[in-house]
Structure 1
Amino acid sequence: MCKKIFVAATGQHCGKTTISISLLHLARQMYGQVAFMKPIGPKCMTFNDIVVDKDAALMAGIYGLEEDIAFMSPVVLGRGSTKQYLDGLQSREAAEERIREACNKLESKSEFLVVEGSGHGGVGSVIGLNNARVARAVDAPVVMVAGGGIGNVIDAVELNLPLYEREGVEVKLLLVNKLLPEKREESLSYLRKAFAPRGLMVAGAFDFSPVLADPTLAHISRLLGHPLLGDTSQRNRIIHHIQLGAASSQKVVDGLLPSTLLVTTSSRDELIVTISSLYHIPEYRERIAGLVIPGHAPISPITQQILTESGVPYLRIVETTAEVFSKVTDHVSKISADDREKIDLIRSSAERVLRGGVVEELLKA
């Protein structure tokens, strides 16, 4: 009989996908055949000629599950899908049946199945299939992932739990993620005290990690919709700081922090030349991750030559500096199958933090 677990979350960006990667990694060490499913897919892409949710494609890419991709993402909500459900052109019953059939198929060939929810508990309500109802449909106990903190975690969990209680789904564990290392034990102690009356177990997941939280150059390239130029072998370099090149060249250079992405308008020839020249120096190469060069003004031919010859990774985009800076600073990094450094860190962290505790007990239950 296939064991299952449903990974829920109190909201977006709690690290639900990171936890799913970790659970799959640990489960693969305990069971011969492990599967993954994202029943409701709000963010779709084409993978092996099939439209699937991005997280399903991610897990297939990481763990070699491509042959099961058709069952890993049974319901995808593309553009216009919600209106079709509200107009009666698609039905909740049909979507729920597709989810059950896909789950049964994966269960029939697996010993352990990780089912990942979408966003907070209410996501999917527009088609009558919120996370709690989906967890009931696949008959899986729930691990709820929350971000770090105390009060905000309690508030978020209390908003989500009634949905699962209404559907008669058991929430086995609250897994608190992105904890501040210096406050980890204190936060977990208070959260255990807060949820003790509910009988809800609380465990700590990963501490906040800039490596996992910060985007790569490839992410920024996809976000802005422009190709990475220069040394593209650096596409998976992680950006830890984003700086606006608005001050004098000297002040900008003095303010460079490790692995900085510099956003500077195309009319700042002197700054582009300075950064390009410094990129040859190892000390500064550690600080300069790359350039984003927005603006309608063309880059002068000599500046372009120096920029090209330097090899510094850059993106050239004809938008205003304000628009581009807002996009990259508001961006929340999502893991891709190419992010080997991040994936390796997740796996090693899972071995160190989650193995041997209540999470491993839950995988064996």
Structure 2
Amino acid sequence: MSKKIFIAATGQDCGKTTTSLSLIHLARKKYKRVGFIKPFGPKLISYKGRKIDMDAALISHIYRLDDDLEFMSPVVVESRTTRQFLDGEITHDQLVIPLDIAIAELERKCDFLIIEGAGHAGVGAVVGLSNALVAARYQAPVLLVTGGGVGHVIDSVHLNLALFREAGAEVRVLVPNKLIPAKRPATLSYIEKAFANYPFKVVGGFNYSPVLANPTLRHIANLLGLQLHATAEQSWSIAHHLQMGAAATQRVVDLLQPSTLLVVTSSRDELLVMLASLYHLPEFKSKIAGLVIPGLSPVADIVQRILNDAGIPYMRTTATTADVFSRIREDVSKIGPDDHEKIALIQQLAETELCFETIDALI
């Protein structure tokens, strides 16, 4: 029988997958066989000929767990799954039996098993497989990941604790994540005070990192479904800032910050030429991550030649500037299997920012 832990969160994008990546990295230093399962997979991709959750595919790829792939994402949720369940076309047993089999097999094979939930404690309730119910069903102690801050964290933790208590799942560890470095001690101190009488321990997670939080140009291109005109090295550049090129040309230049992705409509010839020219200068090249060029108007031939000559990374779309800007702004960058820089950084930071021995002792 393996030691196991259920990774839950107070909401989306708190850092569950980053936490799972880190725990696997650290657990492998102590345990011979570390396994992973995403019981309820709402984000599907095709990987190794299987339709599985993207987080399971990511973990399998990074840690070479392909031998366990058939058990790592036992319940996949497609767009029609909810309706099929509510219409009686899919039964609870059809979902839970493969999950029981997968958990049993991984527990048999592994010394340490990470079970990663999807979203907050109630996600999956529509098919009788909420995170809280799954954690309780397999008697897995819960590690609850939150975002940064104090008040919002305390409120959201209370909401999620109610569901875990109702299901009979035991929260053992609370991990506030994405902490502001300068405020880390104070933030953790206040959260510890708020939950001083609760039967779990507060363990600090990762500090906020622009490298982890912000997207690569390749990610943006995939998000928008666009061709990225860039070298292989440029495609992995991280856009730390997003700027709409709507102001006067000089004002746009004055507002540039390090590694800025600019959204510049195709009719702004003078601005596109200026940015392409500045890309030749070292002091500005570091400020320009690349361009997204939306708009129905074609880019003028001479402007296109200047862009190509400059070697500035760019993407072209006929969508509106507002649509492109809002889609990028609303996106939270997910780690992909080829994000080697981010994965290496997560593993490096895990060594100093996440105390595995404390977590391991609590489960």
TM interval, short-chain normalised: over 0.9
Alignment-derived partner of residue 272 in structure 1: 272
- Do the aligned residues in 2 keep the contact of 1:230 with 1:308 (CA within 8 Å)? no
Q: Give the C-alpha shift of residue 174 in structure 1.
A: 0.7
Q: Which whole-Å deviations, capped at 9, do the CAs of 1:292-348 have from their partners, x for residues lacking one?
A: 000000011111111112211110011111111111111111111111111111111
C-alpha RMSD of the superposition: 1.3
Matches within 5 A, 1:128-207: 128-207=128-207
Alignment-derived partner of residue 124 in structure 2: 124
Give the distance between the partners of 2:355 and 2:162, measured in 1 at CA: 30
Alignment-derived partner of residue 73 in structure 1: 73
Q: Which whole-Å deviations, capped at 9, do the CAs of 1:256-306 have from their partners, x for residues lacking one?
A: 110000100001111111111221222211111000000000011111111
Matches within 5 A, 1:268-347: 268-347=268-347
Q: Give the C-alpha shift of residue 93 in structure 1.
A: 2.2
Flag the 1:356–1:13 CA change in 2: closer, same or farther, 3 A.
Answer: closer
Q: Give the C-alpha shift of residue 94 in structure 1.
A: 2.1
Partner of 1:198, secondary structure, is: coil
Q: Give the C-alpha shift of residue 356 in structure 1.
A: 6.0
Residue 236 of structure 2 is aligned to residue 236 of structure 1: yes
Flag the 1:174–1:284 CA change in 2: closer, same or farther, 3 A.
Answer: same
Structure 2 letter corresponding to 1:26? L
Residue 64 of structure 2 is aligned to residue 87 of structure 1: no
Residue 203 of structure 2 is aligned to residue 211 of structure 1: no
Structure 2 letter corresponding to 1:172? R
Q: Which whole-Å deviations, capped at 9, do the CAs of 1:87-128 have from their partners, x for residues lacking one?
A: 111112221111111111222222111110000000001101
Q: Which whole-Å deviations, capped at 9, do the CAs of 1:40-96 have from their partners, x for residues lacking one?
A: 011111111111011111111111112222210000111111100111111122211
Give the distance between the partners of 2:206 and 2:233, measured in 1 at CA: 29
Partner of 2:203, secondary structure, is: strand
Aligned residues: 363
Matches within 5 A, 1:16-35: 16-35=16-35
Structure 2 letter corresponding to 1:182? A
After TM superposition, the score normalised by the length of structure 1 is 0.96
Alignment-derived partner of residue 10 in structure 1: 10
- Do the aligned residues in 2 keep the contact of 1:232 with 1:313 (CA within 8 Å)? no
Residue 61 of structure 2 is aligned to residue 61 of structure 1: yes
Q: Which whole-Å deviations, capped at 9, do the CAs of 1:226-245 have from their partners, x for residues lacking one?
A: 12113343111111001111
Alignment-derived partner of residue 227 in structure 1: 227
Give the distance between the partners of 2:359 and 2:182, measured in 1 at CA: 22
Partner of 2:289, secondary structure, is: strand
Question: Which shows bigger deviation, 326-335 or 272-281?
Answer: 272-281
- Do the aligned residues in 1 keep the contact of 2:203 with 2:355 (CA within 8 Å)? no
Partner of 2:35, secondary structure, is: strand
Give the distance between the partners of 1:144 and 1:333, measured in 2 at CA: 21
Structure 2 letter corresponding to 1:96? V
Give the distance between the partners of 1:343 and 1:237, measured in 2 at CA: 15
Give the distance between the partners of 1:266 and 1:178, measured in 2 at CA: 37
Question: Which shows bigger deviation, 97-106 or 352-361?
Answer: 352-361
Q: Give the C-alpha shift of residue 360 in structure 1.
A: 4.2
Structure 1 letter corresponding to 2:17? T
Structure 2 letter corresponding to 1:329? R
Give the distance between the partners of 1:300 and 1:33, measured in 2 at CA: 58
- Do the aligned residues in 1 keep the contact of 2:26 with 2:356 (CA within 8 Å)? no
Which ranges of structure 2 fall in alignment gaps of 5 or more residues? none
- Do the aligned residues in 1 keep the contact of 2:207 with 2:353 (CA within 8 Å)? no
Give the distance between the partners of 1:356 and 1:328, measured in 2 at CA: 34
Question: Which shows bigger deviation, 329-338 or 194-203?
Answer: 194-203
Give the distance between the partners of 2:114 and 2:136, measured in 1 at CA: 14
- Moved beyond 4 Å, runs of 4+: none
Partner of 1:13, secondary structure, is: coil
Alignment-derived partner of residue 251 in structure 2: 251
Instruction: Give the share of equivalent positions with the same residue, in percent.
Output: 53
Structure 1 letter corresponding to 2:197? P
Give the distance between the partners of 1:23 and 1:157, measured in 2 at CA: 21
Q: Give the C-alpha shift of residue 357 in structure 1.
A: 4.9
Alignment-derived partner of residue 115 in structure 2: 115
Give the distance between the partners of 1:232 and 1:238, measured in 2 at CA: 13
Alignment-derived partner of residue 49 in structure 2: 49
Give the distance between the partners of 2:135 and 2:356, measured in 1 at CA: 26
Give the distance between the partners of 1:144 and 1:355, measured in 2 at CA: 15
Give the distance between the partners of 1:268 and 1:234, measured in 2 at CA: 24
Give the distance between the partners of 1:153 and 1:322, measured in 2 at CA: 32
- Do the aligned residues in 1 keep the contact of 2:27 with 2:356 (CA within 8 Å)? no
Question: Which shows bigger deviation, 353-362 or 281-290?
Answer: 353-362
Which ranges of structure 1 fall in alignment gaps of 5 or more residues? none
Structure 2 letter corresponding to 1:7? I
Give the distance between the partners of 1:268 and 1:53, measured in 2 at CA: 41
